[in-house]
Amino acid sequence: MQVEPEIAFRDVPATEEYKNLILEGIDKLENVYPHLISCRTVVTDTTPDRRTGNVHRVRVEVAIPGSTIVVDPTDSAPGESRNVAQAISHAFDLARRRLQKAKELQAGDVKTRGLPPHGRVTRLLTDDFGVRYGFLHSREGRQVYFHEEALVGLDYDDLEVGDEVRFAAAEGDEGLQASTVAPLDPGDVGPRQERSIPLV
């Protein structure tokens, strides 16, 4: 994680047990998505005046490149009674599932409705052995590697930095790699989405 995790307690004792539960939850998130930017956790007793049956809720905010995953206190049913440990486990279970879904979306495993995974060519390179490859910048803010052999319906010689393309990608040993890079019909994207892809 790029930023040290933040943990806060409101009307709840900041015990080592609770802190360790949260850190274990964060470790599990990093197992799903190794490149987390930050994670902020707030544990709250929403019924501090009660002696028993208190409702504890946990807000988790996880930042990843191009997005933030939020598990909000309203994810618990109104008046639902949970002890602190249960509330922490529940919140991190939700966060883990949402993070997995976000990872699949970024990898192109689940297509956004009506919008194919696409990006902008940012670099075109040739190595010392004459192998040609390049990099894309996706709408989610991720850098995607592609090899010349991944091109479908495109010629490497005709590609230029700034070209919009659609792609299918998966996590490789060194990050996100495109298995297919194909022409993009501008009508599939629209001017609003095109502007949202930064040229870096």
CATH of the domain at 140: 2.40.50.140
Within a domain: 113? no
Residue 16 CB contacts under 8 Å (≥ 6 apart), including other chains: none
Q: Are 13 and 85 in the same domain?
A: yes
Count of domains for the chain: 2
Within a domain: 112? no
Q: Are 92 and 168 in the same domain?
A: no
Q: Are 96 and 124 in the same domain?
A: no
- Compute the average pLDDT of residues 40-54: 79
CATH number at residue 27: 3.30.160.100
- CA triplet 198, 199, 200: central angle to 5 degrees? 105
Strand residues in 12-114 grouped as ranges (E)? 38-45, 56-64, 67-71
* Pairwise pLDDT comparison (157 vs 184), residue with the higher score: 157
pLDDT tens string 89-146: 989 999 999 898 888 877 764 444 445 678 899 999 998 888 999 999 987 788 899 9
* Pairwise pLDDT comparison (189 vs 198), residue with the higher score: 189
Give the model's pLDDT for residue 136: 92
Whether pTM exceeds 0.85: no
Residue 20 CB contacts under 8 Å (≥ 6 apart), including other chains: none
Domain boundary pick from 51, 71, 106: 106
Give the model's pLDDT for residue 153: 87
pLDDT tens string 58-83: 999 998 887 888 887 654 444 455 68
Q: Which domain holds residue 75?
A: 6-106
